Structure 1
Amino acid sequence: MPLPLYLLALAVFAMGTSEFMLAGLLPDIASDLDVTVGTAGALTSAYAIGMTAGAPLVAALARHWPRRLSLLGFVLVFAAAHVAGAVTASFPVLFATRVVAALANAGFLALALTAAVTLVPPGRTGRALAVLLSGTTVATIAGVPGGSVLGTSLGWRATFWAVAALCLPAALGILKGIPAGRGDDEAPGGPALRTELAQLTRPRLIQMMLLGALVNAATFGSLTFLAPVVTDSAGLGDWWISVALMLFGAGSFAGVAVAGRLSDRRPGAVIAVGGPLLLVGWPALALLADEPVALLILVFVQGALSFALGGTLITRVLYEAAGAPTMAGSYATAALNVGAAVGPVIAAATLDTGAGALGPLWASGFLVASALLIALFLRPARSHPRPPRSGEPAPQPERRSAA
């Protein structure tokens, strides 16, 4: 894999750390800025909504900008938003910085997903995306726990400063590793924006986006409320929460690494095997949550299956969006973040039911089951167009490729 791809992954690591780090910082933020914890929780929603809406919007605005300039600009705006957040004493200002950071994150990830495709030969898209998304999985293993420790030791503002600092080597790497100007794949003359947006009328693309969103909703629904399962159901101490999160992150890293080698050539096999296993895993985790050893093993396994299946589906989104070379990454980003926003809401609604803290695990099983039912109605495409490369004419999709 080319070095620029790893430099993009470094930026994704910084952004992933920022996206997830608030879970351990909300009480301190609420106390420092004199708001309730519930009000502080709006920072998480603001970020998710900004990511979902920002991906297609920012990608549309930046579709004809030089790639290096765009990626560098998004990273620097993201860093500046964290600096502003670190120094403010106003909750509304902090809220605004989270929206700005989310927009920058969305724009960067949308372009990075498309850029990753152009950095590797055809047929290696899955491996390229595995490297890129490993930035997010490493964030769950090291970045988020590290941010929690830093916030506990030095205050929540120190974590914001640390995320901003992480952006600097990523920005330097983009400046040195991504070619300046327009490459062959960025040449003008590609399809019009209206043509690229029209790809969203293709049933198969919408189905793949929906499948990715449902699997990601299941993932983030349970991950968001994993802490009470660890402490209440399993009866473990608070520090085991970090252990469980690290195991989930380690599993997710393994999942994208393995699936990255299979998602280009045998995506059907990944979905056919990983989907049912993931479906069984969430209820199994709920039923065995009072057994600490089984709980921790299943947390690792579910992390691996969730990201293997989710990463494969996002790869398929890029394949199905071959006629939208500059917007495909934003479609994949939107699918991911719709799931990340909706999943915790659905999971939270189960906490007041008889299932209690285990409700999110059962909800995740329901979401995966819904995805598999939809997948049953998909017919395999007769041909798989390679992922989009900017500046090329839009391929004409085969009518029979839609379900």
Structure 2
Amino acid sequence: MPLALLALAVSAFGIGTTEFVIMGLLPEVAADLHVTIPTAGLLISGYALGVVVGGPLLTVAGNRIPRKNLLVGLMALFIAGNLISALAHSYALLLTGRVVAALAHGAFFGVGSVVAASLVAPAKQASAIALMFTGLTVANVLGVPGGTALGQAFGWRSTFWAVTALGVLGLIGVATLVPRQPLEPGRSLRGELAVFKRPQVLLALAMTALGFGAVFAAFTYIAPMMTQVAGFSDGAVTWLLVLFGVGLVIGNLIGGKAADRRLMPSLYVILAALAAILVVFAFTAHAQIPAAITLVLFGTIGFATVPGFQTRVMQQADGAPALASTANIAAFNLGNAFGAWLGGLAITTGLGYTAPSWIGAALALGGLAVAVISGLLERRQQTWPPSTSNGTTVPAEAGVTCSVSSPSA
């Protein structure tokens, strides 16, 4: 494994920790800053909005900057945002710090995916992306519980000081270990934007939004489902989330290996398995041991989609992958948002805490349908133009490509 991938993973660990740790610190933040819990919850929404808006904008703004330099700048922005949060003595300032840190999130994972893929042979690019995202998954296993415990023991600001230190470590790693990324000849903003005219890129983004919407439709309400339906105590939720996080780590690595072997077939299987496990979860949620086992399998299958989704959009944005890759990070977060909204809507209409699992299964099947359409379109493109009986070929129609290239770094 190139050491540069370790530097990207450490940075991803810090970013993942700061994104999710606030969920465990909402009571402390609300009490200290004299706001309600729902108001404190907007710190999560504000971060998500910063990811969706900031990622593409910063990638566009940094289009003429070598990718290594851009990653260093993004980590500096991430450090600044967490430093503002650590020093915040008002809700407005804390929200500002959260948004500033979030601006770096989407662009870092988007550009970082392209850099990670450039560090290895084409046949191992999905695995390289998975290794970078391992930092994000490990954040759920170690960073979030550890950061929550630190904040509860020494005050919530101590958590942001710790994340700031992680950001500094990640910046140093990227600056010293990631090789120089020269600016590619012919790289332009127009070229980056042009990829969104490709139907396959749009299908890849839709697949990501639906597939990850399926995950968060159920995961957002996992605590009440495990306590109110399965019968676990409130104190057991932390350990259940650790189990879920272990599943994320395993699934991320498995998904990377599978995507390297056969990208689209692996996504068909994983999305179908995700729909199936969510249906199963609606039934196993009524007993503790089956519910815990299904939770781990859900985490494993759910995050096995990530390397494949990210690789697919980069593959279809061949020649200008950075902005499309960042847009895919935004698609992940849009999926988080509307998946959680649909799951909550099902609960508020009185369908119960297992209803989000059914919503998630439906979204996973939607993602599978988009994947199949994309695969069929690709097969049609690869077999065009048709051969005539005398062995000559019919000229391809304008706008139809005859092959799909691997992503360029």
TM over 0.5: yes
When residues 350 and 215 of structure 1 are mapped into structure 2, their CA distance, relative to the original with a 3 A threshold, is same
Q: Which residue of 2 aligns with 1:175?
A: 175
Q: Which residue of 1 aligns with 2:226?
A: 230
Within 5 Å, which residues of 2 pair with 1:4-403? 4-180=4-180, 182-183=181-182, 186-187=183-184, 189-378=185-374, 379=376, 380-381=378-379, 382=382, 383-389=403-409
User: 1:292-318 CA distances to partner (integer Å, 9 max, x unpaired)?
Assistant: 111111111111111112321221111
Asked if structure 2 preserves the Cα contact closer than 8 Å seen for 1:322 and 1:328, the reply is: no
How far apart, in 2, do the equivalents of 1:36 and 1:83 lie? 23
Q: CA deviation at 1:220?
A: 2.1
Q: CA RMSD in A?
A: 1.6
How far apart, in 2, do the equivalents of 1:361 and 1:339 lie? 15
Secondary structure of the residue aligned to 2:259 is coil
Secondary structure of the residue aligned to 2:286 is coil
How far apart, in 2, do the equivalents of 1:355 and 1:365 lie? 15
Q: CA deviation at 1:263?
A: 0.5
Letter in 2 for 1:61: A
Q: CA deviation at 1:61?
A: 0.7
How far apart, in 1, do the equivalents of 2:353 and 2:159 lie? 29
Q: Which residue of 1 aligns with 2:385?
A: none
Asked if structure 2 preserves the Cα contact closer than 8 Å seen for 1:49 and 1:341, the reply is: no
Q: List gaps (5 residues or longer) in structure 1.
A: 390-403
The range that moved more, 28-37 or 307-316, is: 307-316
User: 1:145-165 CA distances to partner (integer Å, 9 max, x unpaired)?
Assistant: 111211221221111111111
Q: CA deviation at 1:243?
A: 1.5
How far apart, in 2, do the equivalents of 1:27 and 1:140 lie? 19
Letter in 2 for 1:387: P
Equivalent pairs, count: 385
How far apart, in 2, do the equivalents of 1:309 and 1:254 lie? 12
Letter in 2 for 1:144: V
How far apart, in 2, do the equivalents of 1:105 and 1:309 lie? 19
Secondary structure of the residue aligned to 1:242 is helix
Asked if structure 2 preserves the Cα contact closer than 8 Å seen for 1:225 and 1:360, the reply is: yes
How far apart, in 2, do the equivalents of 1:204 and 1:69 lie? 30
How far apart, in 2, do the equivalents of 1:147 and 1:355 lie? 34
Asked if structure 1 preserves the Cα contact closer than 8 Å seen for 2:249 and 2:300, the reply is: yes
How far apart, in 1, do the equivalents of 2:251 and 2:404 lie? 23
Secondary structure of the residue aligned to 1:386 is coil
User: 1:188-228 CA distances to partner (integer Å, 9 max, x unpaired)?
Assistant: x2242122212112111111111111111121222221111
Q: CA deviation at 1:60?
A: 0.8
TM, length-normalised to structure 2: 0.90
How far apart, in 1, do the equivalents of 2:317 and 2:264 lie? 18
Secondary structure of the residue aligned to 1:357 is coil
Letter in 1 for 2:107: G
How far apart, in 2, do the equivalents of 1:203 and 1:152 lie? 48
Q: CA deviation at 1:84?
A: 1.3
User: 1:65-108 CA distances to partner (integer Å, 9 max, x unpaired)?
Assistant: 13332212211221221121112111111111111110012222
How far apart, in 2, do the equivalents of 1:37 and 1:241 lie? 19
Letter in 1 for 2:131: V
How far apart, in 2, do the equivalents of 1:24 and 1:286 lie? 26
When residues 388 and 346 of structure 1 are mapped into structure 2, their CA distance, relative to the original with a 3 A threshold, is farther
Asked if structure 2 preserves the Cα contact closer than 8 Å seen for 1:52 and 1:334, the reply is: yes
Q: CA deviation at 1:271?
A: 2.1
User: 1:314-339 CA distances to partner (integer Å, 9 max, x unpaired)?
Assistant: 21111011131432321222222221
Letter in 2 for 1:388: S
Letter in 2 for 1:24: G
How far apart, in 1, do the equivalents of 2:371 and 2:178 lie? 37
How far apart, in 2, do the equivalents of 1:325 and 1:259 lie? 20
Letter in 2 for 1:40: A
Asked if structure 2 preserves the Cα contact closer than 8 Å seen for 1:111 and 1:330, the reply is: yes
User: 1:25-44 CA distances to partner (integer Å, 9 max, x unpaired)?
Assistant: 11211111111111111111
How far apart, in 1, do the equivalents of 2:47 and 2:36 lie? 18
Letter in 1 for 2:305: L
Q: CA deviation at 1:131?
A: 0.2
Asked if structure 2 preserves the Cα contact closer than 8 Å seen for 1:233 and 1:290, the reply is: yes
Letter in 1 for 2:123: G
How far apart, in 1, do the equivalents of 2:320 and 2:67 lie? 16
How far apart, in 2, do the equivalents of 1:268 and 1:34 lie? 50
Q: List gaps (5 residues or longer) in structure 2.
A: 383-402
Identity %: 36
Secondary structure of the residue aligned to 2:320 is coil
